[in-house]
Structure 1
């Protein structure tokens, strides 16, 4: 990696106006695909990050709290 080139580019970008920096950010990120809501739900479900909840006791019931109007 050309660290000197990267540092130079960063300095140039930081010297631009906020609008110009935003335009560069938009251009850099325009081709990055974002996961859909369905894909994010599948990641959360299959990824294991919530597995610890299986061991948690059910401490709330339908009678707890107040209904939302």
Structure 2
């Protein structure tokens, strides 16, 4: 890891005006993309946060109720 480079960048960012820092923040957040639905599903599956649902009974079927239009 290049600690000196990171520290230099921090110092440069801190030397910017509020307006310049806001612009930098906006540009960095626009550069980063949000995860796709597929990536979120894969994360949920691999993370195991919803594994408890595997033991839940199936309460509803396609024959239940009326179709939603």
TM-score, normalising length: structure 1: 0.51
Say yes or no: does 1:7 pair with 2:7. yes
Task: Identify unmatched segments of 5+ residues in structure 2.
Answer: 57-69
TM-score, normalising length: structure 2: 0.51
Segments of 4+ in structure 1 off by > 6 A? none
- The 5-angstrom pairing of residues 47-62 of structure 1 reads 47=46, 48-54=48-54
SS of corresponding position for 1:30: helix
Alpha-carbon offset, residue 12 of structure 1: 1.6
- The 5-angstrom pairing of residues 1-69 of structure 1 reads 1-36=1-36, 38-39=37-38, 40=40, 42=41, 43-44=43-44, 46-47=45-46, 48-54=48-54
CA distance in 2, matches of 1:30, 1:51: 34
1:59 corresponds to: none
RMSD over equivalenced CA pairs, Å: 2.4
Q: How many residues align?
A: 53
